[in-house]
Structure 1
Amino acid sequence: MANLVIFHNTLDIADVVRQLQAEDWEIDPLDLAEISPHLTEHINRFSVYSTHEIGITPEDYGTRLVVDFSTLEEELIPAA
């Protein structure tokens, strides 16, 4: 269940980033690197979850997120 929650949060984060990019926001890879899809707030770990949607085929999700992470690589390379 935890893996599914993380996966769902990852898709939600990617959707928000795409929406911001569509609104001409500049996405800083350093800020994006600080976001974790492993959220623990508002998760009812042992609660009752709805299963009425099990028979519904989910929509395809976009796996492509266009963000230049090269600045992260530059941060990790020590200066000579």
Structure 2
Amino acid sequence: MAMAAAEIEAMIRAALPDADVTITDLAGDGDHYAAHVVSPAFAGMSRVAQHKAVYAALGGRMGGVLHALQLTTAAPK
């Protein structure tokens, strides 16, 4: 069971409402996505902490419903 890009985006935006989120389906199969997330909430956070925040927003779906997510995060400049 795959996740839709819109669902991934909505879950990230729900947790990080000020984020700029771009989701790309890498393989066209609904299982392999890239997410680019820029959020003021990431200011002062390590890259690992930023990624953990995004994974937390996905509520445990990584590795199950969502097979692969190439993640790029940043705080606004």
Q: Compute the TM-score of the two structures, normalised by the length of structure 2.
A: 0.28
Query: Which structure's relative contact order is higher, taking Cα pairs within 8 Å and 6+ residues apart?
Result: 1
Structure with greater Cα Rg:
1
Q: Compute the TM-score of the two structures, normalised by the length of structure 1.
A: 0.27
**Structure (1 or 2) with the greater helix fraction:** 1
**Structure (1 or 2) with the greater strand fraction:** 2
